[in-house]
Amino acid sequence: MPPATASPALSSPSPSPAAPDKRLRIIDRTMRLHGYASHALIETLHAVQEAFGYLDPDLMRYVAGRLKVPLSRVYAVATFYHFFTLKPPGEHTCVLCKGTACHIGGAAEILRQVEAMLGVHAGETTADKKISLMIARCLGSCGLAPAGVFDGTIVGNLTLDTVVNKLQEWRSHDADHRKSAGDCENRDRCP
Amino acid sequence: MTLTIENLQEIAKTETDVLESYRYRINVCVAAGCLSCGSDAVKASLEEEIRRQGKEKACRVRAVGCLGLCAVGPLIDISPLNVAYQGVQPSDAPDIIGSLTGAPVSRLLLPTDHPFFSRQKKIVLENCGIVEPERIESYIAAGGYEALYQALRQMSPRQVIDDVTASGLRGRGGAGFPTGLKWTTVYKAQQADKYVVCNADEGDPGAFMDRSVLESDPHRVIEGMAIAGYAVGASRGYIYVRAEYPLAVERLRRAIKQAKQLGVLGENIFNTPFAFDIQLRLGAGAFVCGEETALIASIEGRLGRPRPRPPFPAEFGLWGCPTLINNVETIANIAPIVRRGGDWFAGIGTEKSKGTKVFALAGKINNTGLIEVPMGTPLREIVFDIGGGIPAGRRFKAVQTGGPSGGCVPAQFLDMPMDYESLKDVGAIMGSGGMIVMDDGACMVDVAKFFMEFCMSESCGKCVPCRVGTAQLFGILERITAGDAKIEDIDTLKELCDLVGAASLCGLGQTAPNPVKSTLRYFENEYMAHIRRHHCEAGVCAMGKAREDTA
């Protein structure tokens, strides 16, 4: 990554350079609310991640320019904190909690099996970009251990079966969805 | 228009009158625990059913905070019938509404004389499950913001601090530093700009006390911070809250907005010259940010790395200004102390540990959930009476308190009183209140390894003893659990524990060896069995399983 701090005018964030992105306004608003102060960096990166799902290099450059902080510092903050991700997430996200109560409740074994099933490690996305598997340090839902978050919804008292079912549901639901959209690869099985 | 005490009383009266105009108030828990079991759907179906049976004038459904017993959610309780239901499903709504005038629905009944409820003493959690967290009127009806009025209009800052000092309250974040002393230091600092920071970066895996307070009673935290601001002479406050708690963040945002609209935050609060403003700052998933100098760095938008102390934040904190940093639970104790006096608070608990403590019961225990008990309550009472004992007829082995900075308390200390000193004596700490119960299916070496892995990956990397030491310790523990260790490794382990503890820069590294030291102290035989006989008694470590498979 080049160390230069791009000026705001030069940086057109990548996802859709042609059309001005509405999501950019949310980020601008956050920075404006904090008076473009350099201490708003973490708040701004939260806004970026919420709007775009991850921290895109061009967007980091954009934020660096606007807040007048070195790009190296933006990158340092983005990689220091676990909450931020530099990779685009998959269509669905499965977060398994690895807190103490969940560990005692057998979360490690569930994680191991799910990693094997999806063929990815925690923190990665499946090759078909369908499912991101993440771990959380503690969701604070220890009363429901082992717990996880499936596309933003907390689910408690997980077993290997419930997790596997959920993941398969995502896969097959999306297959149905494609079918109905007439985008099915297996033509003879489409209605 | 500035708010007066009459306005406050009027709001409280209107709220109470409206509530009492309903014959039945159905309180549905909408804290994260019950929400994830579908309590929002339960609430919707209860409202629908009330409309269907035409009982809108007699029944009101209220969204309240945590009722405590997360294990059997979704929970609802019906006042004034004093009936509580557990594991309620949306399909139960017709029976529940239909039975209001008759006998309760027996299949859902949760006995309210259950020891889980009757043995508790609630101060911090007194409003949880009673007030509606998303409505400031509900908090005011429960006596909210009266303490702030009292402090601002009837007490000098010095008197407020004297009350807090007299209460004997100690920091609930883990270290147990006397709160009054901390406040006095910030109060005495001669600088115009001062800050109050609420540490809501509850990073200890296995602890959810702060989350529940923030979700169930956010105004309590706001009121406590405003009182603290008045006492130490600060006009700005920050709440540093974990981004992993979206519901708490949402409710805090709403609560701050309501407080500003009403005028309990802002300029000239209660017609006094005192002004106070609160902003939220989101953490971004770094355990080390619970350490106060790292937390300050993070609020300033920098890497969450600690710096040497002194100077302490009370003298040189946020942007170089004197800063008061208190944990959520500490701040939640302030309003009751001001309202009822420091002496009242000092009458609860033990000689050196005053008041109550909120514990998050989790792990291998029947009644998982949130409890609040007087300091000094015996561990046995917490685990077996309130907690309902160990599931599946298994044997109690130990509890882990204080998470990755704490230690384990084995069965021989079950009758020990839970207070700061007793816990320290047995090599554990009070910590923030996470209490993980382990049965005989837990391998203590694996537990130590689990916490060391946590500390290793959460080490910020600034100082060598912590960055390198935790990795070395983890390596040895991994060898032990894989059956590849030598007996000399135990000596290296002990030596490294002392080194990392003594030489690390901040609390994270200084306390990281604690779980190892404490498990070595009480369960050295398990370490030996792993090393000498390649045997994991609990069958957790892979080599134990491998042996069983080949047997």
Say which of B70, B299, B458 has its CB closest to residue A143. B70
pLDDT class of B11 with cuts at 50, 70, 90 = very high
pLDDT at position B498 is 98
Q: How confident is the model at residue A8, as a pLDDT?
A: 42
Residue A82 in contact with residue B320, Cβ under 8 Å? no
Residues of chain B contacting A55 with CB distance shorter than 8 Å: none
Whether A10 shows a pLDDT value over 50: the answer reads no
Concatenate the DSSP letters of all residues of B289-354 into one string: GGSHHHHHHHHTTS------SSSPTTTS-GGGS-EEEEEHHHHHTHHHHHHH-HHHHHTSB-SSSB
CB contact under 8 A, B400 and A100: yes
Q: What is the pLDDT of residues B360-416, one digit of tens each?
A: 999 999 999 999 999 999 999 999 999 999 999 999 999 999 999 999 999 999 999
Domain chopping of chain B, boundaries: 5-114, 143-346, 356-439, 445-550
% of chain A residues with pLDDT over 90: 67
Residue with tokens 């509405």: A22
* Nearest in space to B255 (alpha carbons), one of B295, B213, B292: B213
> What is the interface size between A and B, counted as CB pairs within 8 Å?
140
Average pLDDT, chain B: 94
- Name the residue facing A39 among B207, B301, B460 (closest C-beta): B301
- What pLDDT score was predicted for residue A182? 42
Q: Which domains does chain A have, with CATH numbers?
A: 1-88 (1.10.10.1590), 92-189 (3.40.30.10)
Asked if B33 lies within 8 A of A139 by C-beta distance, the reply is no
Model confidence at B174, in pLDDT bands (50, 70, 90)? Answer: confident
Report the residue of chain B nearest A70, measured CA to CA. B302
Q: From the CA of B462, how many Å to the nearest CA of chain A?
A: 12
Strands in B80-235 per DSSP E = 83-85, 109-110, 195-200
Report which secondary-structure segment, H or E, holds B4: none
| Architecture, CATH, for domain B5-114 | 3-Layer(aba) Sandwich (3.40)
Percent of chain B clearing pLDDT 70 (strictly above):
98
Rg for chain A (alpha carbons), in Å?
20
* Top-tier CATH class for B143-346: alpha beta
Q: Note the pLDDT of residue A187.
A: 37
Residue A73 with chain B: CB contacts under 8 Å: 302
What kind and span of H or E run contains B371? Answer: strand B369-374
Chain segment A124-164, per-residue pLDDT in tens: 999 999 999 999 988 888 888 999 999 988 888 999 999 99
**From B208, which residue of chain A is nearest by alpha-carbon distance?**
A140
For the segment B99-126, what is each residue's pLDDT rounded down to a tens digit? 999 999 999 999 888 889 989 999 999 9
Which residue's structure tokens are 């910020």? Answer: B460
B238: which 2 tokens?
């920050």
Q: Inspect the interface and report whether the beta carbons of B205 and A105 lie closer than 8 Å.
A: no
Largest CA distance in chain B: 80
Q: pLDDT > 90: what percent of chain B? A: 91
pLDDT in tens, A88-129: 999 999 999 999 999 988 999 999 999 999 999 999 999 999
DSSP state of A178: H
Q: How far is residue A154's CA from residue B249's CA, in Å, rounded to a whole number?
A: 16
Average model confidence (pLDDT) for chain A?
84
Is A86's Cβ below 8 Å from some Cβ in B? Answer: no
Q: What pLDDT, on a 0 to 100 scale, did the predictor assign at position B307?
A: 96
- Predicted pLDDT of residue A176: 60
Is the pLDDT at A185 greater than 50? The verdict is no
Residues in chain B with CB shorter than 8 Å from the CB of A106 are none
How far is it, in rounded angstroms, from Cα A81 to Cα B200? Answer: 16
- For the segment B12-26, what is each residue's pLDDT rounded down to a tens digit? 999 999 999 999 999
Cα(B359)–Cα(B332) distance, integer angstroms: 14
Q: Above 50 in pLDDT, residue B249?
A: yes
Order across the sheet with A92-97: list the strands. A124-125, A131-136, A92-97, A148-150, A153-155
Please, which pLDDT band fits residue B36 given cuts at 50, 70 and 90? Answer: confident
For residues A30-42, give the mean pLDDT: 96
The nearest alpha carbon in chain B to A41 belongs to B301
* pLDDT tens by residue, B208-242: 999 999 999 999 999 999 999 999 999 999 999 99
The answer for residues whose C-beta is within 8 angstroms of residue B358's C-beta and 6 or more apart is B124, B125, B172, B209, B213, B329, B370, B371, B372, B433
Overall average pLDDT of the B88-94 stretch: 96
Give pLDDT, residue A138. Answer: 86
pLDDT reported for residue A142: 85
Write down the pLDDT at residue A19.
Answer: 55
Across the strands, what pairs with B373?
B357
pLDDT of res. A21: 81
In chain B, residues with a C-beta closer than 8 Å to the C-beta of A156 are 33, 36-37
Could you please state the CATH topology (level 3) that the domain comprising B445-550 is classified under: de novo design (two linked rop proteins) (1.20.1440)
DSSP-assigned letters across all residues of B198-219? EEE---STT--HHHHHHHH-HH
Residue B437: predicted pLDDT: 96
Shortest distance between the Cα of B216 and any Cα of chain A, in A, equals 14
Judged against a pLDDT cut of 50, whether residue B461 lies above it is answered with: yes
ipTM, 2 decimals?
A: 0.91
- Residue B2's pLDDT is what? 78
Indicate the pairing of strand B236-241 with strand B369-374.
Answer: unpaired
Specify the pLDDT at position A175.
62
In this prediction, residue A12 carries a pLDDT of 44
What per-residue confidence (pLDDT) applies to B499? 98
pLDDT level of residue B165 (50, 70, 90 thresholds): very high
Please report residues of B whose CB lies closer than 8 A to that of A141: 32-33, 36, 70, 208
Mean pLDDT value of segment A170-174: 79
pLDDT, mean of residues B303-323: 96
Fold annotation for B356-439: Ubiquitin-like (UB roll) (3.10.20)
Q: Hey, are the CB atoms on B362 and A143 less than 8 Å from each other?
A: yes
Q: How far apart are CA B470 and CA B489, in angstroms?
A: 15
What is the predicted pLDDT for the residue at A2? 41
| Residues in chain A within 8 Å Cβ distance of B202 | 140
pLDDT value of position B231: 98
Return the pLDDT at A174: 63
Instruction: Using a CB–CB cutoff of 8 Å, tell me whether A140 touches chain B.
Output: yes
Average pLDDT on B166-188 reads 95
B370 contacts on A by Cβ (under 8 Å): 143
User: B56-79 b/e with 16+ CB inside 10 Å = b?
Assistant: eeebbbbbbbbbbbbbbbbbbbbe
